[in-house]
Amino acid sequence: MHELSAGWGLLERNFHLIRRYLSWEAVDFFYNVVNAVTIALIGVRGGPSMVLYLLVGALLWNFLSIIFNEVANSVQWERWEGTIEYTFMAPIRRLTYLLGVSAWAVLYATLRTGLVLAVVALFFRMPLRAADLGAALVVLLVASASFIGIGLVAAILPLMSPERGAQATHIVQGALLLVSGVYYEVSALPVWLQPLSWLSPATYTLRAERAALLHGAGLGQLLPALGILVLFALVTIPAGYAAFRAAERYALRTGRLHRNG
């Protein structure tokens, strides 16, 4: 019960923070909308399917990026505010902390991306008649879990290096953007780079989402991709948690949480 209360406390705290920094949110939201529209406009000459193909990439990347950033930067945010020691001293399991952060990330990413979609829909006529929206939603939820795992791994960087850790998470994110086929087919990559796409859960997520939204693929057809995404989550979440614990011990040993005197 206490752990549940703490998890809820993290959601509540983040909600209050979003409310306080609403002007930042508005700027971010505006950028997300413009980014999605601009990318989709590139595909206008290719017809509605091309527009949808690019929009799926832009929106999905927006969704996964929010999850990744919220989880990966949770430590950095607390370090910036100066509250990390208080939070880490509280009598709660680290798992509760990370689950609270992750639950917030999924909720917030869903809401933000949903709003971007609503605005972008005003710009384009999207051919969704054949789409299997239920299957697309399932893919989104399963993909969230695997991105949380990668976010947990990235969250150790600000723990290990207060000065450069947060910036280093952009390297992880950038690499995923490059190899996952967000705006192009993976086959467009140089041959030597293509095997890296197999290691990104975003590759399978994008393929499955496009299959569901553009070609109406149902859950049955998406099972192989879903299976791979579940496997990613099963590997990356425990690995991310273990890495986070190890990084926390390193921070406690070296005084990286904070130190003076």
CA dist 236 and 242 (Å) reads 10
Cα end-to-end span (Å), the chain: 37
Are the CB atoms for 41 and 52 separated by under 8 Å?
no
255 near other proteins (CB under 8 A)? yes
The length of the chain in residues reads 261
Residue closest to 69 by CA, chosen among 162, 148, 160 = 148
* Main-chain phi, psi angles of 220, to 5 degrees: -60, -45
Among positions 89, 187, 192, 220, the unique one binding other proteins when judged by CB under 8 A: 89
20 near other proteins (CB under 8 A)? yes
Stretch binding other proteins (CB under 8 A), from 90-98, 104-112, 128-136, 233-241 = 90-98
# binding residues, other proteins (CB under 8 A): 37
189 near other proteins (CB under 8 A)? no
Reading the block at residue 9, the tokens are 């406390």
**CB of 10: closest distance to other proteins in angstroms?**
8
**CB of 248: closest distance to other proteins in angstroms?**
10
CA dist 76 and 215 (Å) reads 41
167 near other proteins (CB under 8 A)? no
Stretch binding other proteins (CB under 8 A), from 26-34, 122-130, 195-203, 249-257 = 249-257
8 near other proteins (CB under 8 A)? yes
260 near other proteins (CB under 8 A)? yes
Ranges within 92-111 binding other proteins (CB under 8 A): 92-93
Token pair 């990370």 is found at: 98
Q: Output b/e per residue, 87-96; b: 16+ Cβ within 10 A.
A: bbeeebeeeb
H helices of 133-164, where? 133-160
82 near other proteins (CB under 8 A)? yes
Are the CB atoms for 195 and 126 separated by under 8 Å?
no
Among positions 27, 28, 34, 85, the unique one binding other proteins when judged by CB under 8 A: 85
CA dist 66 and 143 (Å) reads 13
13 near other proteins (CB under 8 A)? yes
State the residues that interact with other proteins by CB under 8 A: 1-2, 5-6, 8-10, 12-13, 16-17, 20-21, 81-83, 85-93, 163-164, 249, 252-255, 257-261
